[in-house]
Amino acid sequence: MLNGSPSSNKHTEVKWIVGALALLGTLLITLIIFTPYIPYSISLNEGDQSSSTVFSPRYLEFQTEDDIVKTAELKKKRESLVKGIFIIDKNINKMIQSDVANSITSIKEYKKKKLSESDAEIPGNLGFLSPSALSYVIKLDNKSLNTLEYLIFQNLESTLSYGLKAVDTDELKLNLFRKMRVLDLTQQSKDFIYQVTVHFIQPNYVFSQKETELSIQREIASIIPFKTVLKKGEPILYSNEIVTVAHIEIFKALNIYGVKANLNKFFGIFLICSIMFLLFERFVYYFNFYVHQRYRYFGATFLTVLIVIVIARVLQELDVSGFPWELIEFKYLIPIPFAAMVLSLLVSSNVSMLCGTIISILVAVMFKLDFLLFFYLFSMNCVTVFSSYKKYKRTELAASGNIVGLSSAILIIINGTLGDGQEYLWFFMNIGVGFINGVGSAMLSLAVLPYFEGLFKITTQQSLLEYSNLNHPLLKRLMLTAPGTYQHSLMVANLAETAAESLKADPVLCRVGAYFHDVGKMKRPMFFTENQGGNDNPHDGLSPRMSKIVISSHTKDGVEFAEKYKLPNVLKDIILQHHGTTLVSFFYTQALHQDEDINTETSKDEFRYAGPKPQFKESGIIMLADSVEAAVRSMKKPTLNKIENIIDKIFKSKMDDDQLSECPITLNEIQQIKKSFLNMFKGIYHSRVNYADEIDKIMEQTPEKLSDEKT
């Protein structure tokens, strides 16, 4: 048993190759996006000789070990200069006042006891008083005693209010008598006040450990620590210099010494890139199967994405020093409009929209998850796709570049307002950068597009417009060699273009494809009825099978002409697909009549075109337009009703024969095509005045009749 046909094995092998290339491409993009996450690392050891000069990658202020030692010494010196702080202890003041009050109270109590008991014992807390002072004071009435108590408190408060470090009795006595000089007091009263004051007073201006420590802390806090400052780009280690501990200390402070890359981030970025590729592949598979079947579109898409990501990575590393150029943010020069325009022209607008979104996500990841940058790129991509939609002329694309540039300026203003306090000059300079991005991307797209077309063999509308010139050598040859086919092609082009516009397909491709779809008939023009012009039919002398071969070979012959004149591949596809695998019914019926023993089912396949069936909308439209135009052209005295009936019949036969089964045209779109064909034929076969009858009537009138009518 065979394991498989050679063609299936080859197809499997191609799939494996494409899969391997896709994996390599994903890894390449992952590596580019991961590079900003790779830390700058130095692995030199103490005593090694540097092979190159090492510069500081960023601005840094930090403390070396030497700076820490110097700062500590300065703190100790400042601490030693702080003097001890003394404060008035209010608790001592209260205690003195309490003792004085208690002694006065004891005097009053002793005075009462003395009145009843002549030998009353003197309280212990009054032992400091002299006998004369005690004898004097107990003779005083309470009012006088209260006055003396008040004067004692006033003197104590006055003395203690300035803070008393030590008690000097002589000085204290001198100050008290000086203050009481103005008072009308007896000497005994003065002695009593002095004895009480001297006995109870004590130093209240004491050392405060807490306040002293707070003062030391304030002094230390005011100290600015010693620091080492490194500017960005400043040399740290010169070439051929020996590495010291100080160098390693600086490298560690900059976090560039022995740092290893985080492979988890690489794996995460790889997963993101893989998911983006799978989403793109599935999107194209479901919504643009024609593109999915042609690997060159994947190649063009990958190269475009790669170019934008590489440019973004280069711009990420750009650094312009010097005011005001340092205000420029080069990320606003990332040429995502270039990708949007190129992919819109090379592939399709929906593919371009998706790719632009993917690029925006990947670049935002590369810029450390910069959301504002993602917003800018995504919005720019959308504006570019919308503004360049169905813009085929170079002037139109240039105008789209201006629109994109203005949109970029608006988006930069939005980003600037959401940023942290941007200067007016920042807005001015970056708005200019954004406008240059839009206009420059359009110019770059126009310049690069021909190279992409040649590299991937993809034909754009711009190239097709060049082939739409009826002075093309192949079309001029068709006009001279097969004039009937030439006129037929022009009519098919009108029908196909109108239908494509109603379906929002590619009208340029439909028109140009219709021009060239029948160029193969030039090889044997007289075998096709539109070129016979009433001459003998060469099929009369051929068998039905031979006639079928001649008729059906015009698709293969057309591809040969296309290759000779270097027509794009898409036009070759239309030439091959415009008949699909349709049955050559006239010669098949003729063969059935001539050979009654023929096997109808087997021979049917012999009388079909080689195909393939139409693979995209434009080729399907041209197939229907070709069949309808040929049928209407062959009608005698066509009317709109007849035309509508023949269109219905042709459309039904194509659908019953599954000729549109591989073409992404819906039933609703088939109705739109039919309607557009009818509208076109209405303009051609509308009712007209019978000018021949009118002329005959005029000619029948004699000059006499004309003169009579005038009178």
Residues of the chain above pLDDT 70, percent: 92
Question: Does residue 690 surpass a pLDDT of 90?
Answer: no
Give 115's pLDDT tier (boundaries 50, 70, 90): confident
Separation of CA 461 from chain center: 29
**Could you count the other beta carbons within 10 Å of the beta carbon of residue 253?**
16
At residue 344, the 3 state secondary structure works out as helix
pLDDT of residue 112: 82
What pLDDT does residue 495 have? 95
Q: Which helix (H) or strand (E) holds 696?
A: helix 691-700
Q: Residues 210-217: what's their mean pLDDT?
A: 85
Assess contact for 513 and 492: CB atoms under 8 A: no
Query: Quick one: pLDDT at residue 602?
Result: 52
Domain boundaries, the chain: 86-207, 269-458, 472-692
In whole numbers, what is the pLDDT of the chain averaged over residues? 85
CATH 1.10.10.10 correct for 269-458: no
Q: Which of these, 276, 247, 429, lies nearest to 363 by C-alpha position?
A: 276
Arithmetic mean of pLDDT, 320-326:
68
- Identify the DSSP state of 339: H
Angle at 151 between CA 149 and CA 156, to 5 degrees: 95
Q: What is the pLDDT of residues 390-436, one digit of tens each?
A: 777 778 888 899 999 999 999 999 988 887 657 888 888 899 999 99
Q: Which amino acid is at 421?
A: G
* pLDDT tens string 633-648: 888 888 888 899 999 9
Task: Specify the pLDDT at position 709.
Answer: 46
Under 8 Å CB-to-CB from 609, ≥6 apart: which residues? 552, 555, 579, 580, 581, 582, 584
Work out the pLDDT band at 321, boundaries 50, 70, 90.
low
Per the structure block, which two tokens stand in for 478? Answer: 């068709």
203 burial level (CB within 10 Å; 0-12, 13-18, 19+): middle
Q: Which residues pair with 55 in a beta bridge?
A: 235
- Phi-psi domain of 163 (left: phi exceeds 0; alpha: psi -120 through 50; beta: other): left
Task: Name which residue leads in pLDDT, 165 or 371.
Answer: 371
* Span 202-214, average pLDDT: 84
pLDDT in tens, 229-250: 888 778 888 888 888 888 888 8
Question: Given a cut of 70, is residue 172 above it in pLDDT?
Answer: yes
Give pLDDT, residue 229: 83
- The whole-number pLDDT of residue 166 equals 82
Complete DSSP assignment for 210-273: HHHHHHHHHHHHTPPPP-EEE-TT-EEE-TTPBP-HHHHHHHHHTT-BS----HHHHHHHHHHH
pLDDT of residue 26 exceeding 60 = yes
Least confident of 411-420, 440-449, 504-513: 411-420
Count Cβ atoms below 10 Å from residue 43 Cβ, excluding itself.
9
Estimate to the nearest angstrom the gap between the alpha carbon of 614 and the chain centroid. 38
Tokens of residue 682, six digits:
């209405």
Over range 136-144, report the average pLDDT.
84
Q: Which residues is 151 bridged to in the sheet?
A: none
Mean pLDDT within 679-683: 87
Helix or strand run (H / E) with residue 61: strand 60-62
Q: Where are the alpha helices (DSSP H) in 460-543?
A: 461-467, 473-481, 483-503, 507-516
Report, in this order, helix, strand and coil percent for the chain, each rounded to 5. 70, 5, 25
Residue 615 has pLDDT above 60, yes or no: yes
Instruction: Give the closest residue to 625 by CA, choosing from 674, 684, 553.
Output: 674
pLDDT at 440: 92
The strand pairing partners of 86, in sequence order, are: 207
Task: Write down the residue that tokens 């009654």 correspond to.
Answer: 596
Crossing angle, helix 394-418 and helix 371-387, to 10 degrees?
A: 160
Both structure tokens of 17: 């190759």
Q: Is residue 706 very low, low, confident or very high in pLDDT (cuts 50, 70, 90)?
A: very low
Indicate the pLDDT class of residue 2, thresholds 50, 70 and 90.
Answer: very low
CA 133 – CA 48 distance, rounded (Å): 93
Residue 700 scores a pLDDT above 80: no
Tell me the pTM: 0.66
* 64 contact partners, CB below 8 Å, separation of at least 6: 228, 246, 249, 250, 253
Q: What is the pLDDT of residue 603?
A: 66
- What average pLDDT does range 102-117 have in this prediction? 82
Grouping H, G, I as helix, E, B as strand and the rest as coil, residue 42 is strand
Q: Give the pLDDT score at 315.
A: 93
Helix (H, G, I), strand (E, B) or coil at 205: strand
Highest mean pLDDT among 103-117, 165-179, 194-208, 605-619: 605-619
Q: Are 344 and 389 in contact (CB under 8 A)?
A: yes
Residue linked to tokens 């990320």:
331
At 534, the pLDDT band (50, 70, 90 cuts) reads: low
Best mean pLDDT range from 179-183, 250-254, 357-361, 540-544: 357-361
* Residue whose token pair is 């970056």: 430
pLDDT at 699: 61
Question: What does the DSSP 8-state code read for residue 522?
Answer: G
C-alpha torsion sign, points 177, 182, 183, 184: positive
What is the rounded distance in angstroms from the CA atom of residue 167 to the CA atom of residue 203?
A: 6
3-state secondary structure of 335: coil
Q: How far apart are CA 609 and CA 577, in angstroms?
A: 9
Q: Which of 445-449, 554-558, 696-700 has the lowest mean pLDDT?
A: 696-700
CA neighbor of 276 nearest in space, from 615, 571, 33, 613: 33
What's the maximum distance between 2 C-alpha atoms anywhere in the chain? 187
Percent above pLDDT 90 for the chain: 37
Residue 63 CB coordination number (10 Å): 16
Question: Residue 82: CB partners within 8 Å, gap ≥ 6?
Answer: 212, 215, 216, 219
Instruction: Provide the pLDDT for residue 196.
Output: 86
Mean pLDDT computed over 210-238 = 84
Question: Positive or negative, the Cα torsion across 320, 321, 325, 331?
Answer: positive
**Domain 472-692: homologous superfamily in CATH:** Hypothetical protein af1432 (1.10.3210.10)
User: Which pLDDT value is given to residue 418?
Assistant: 86
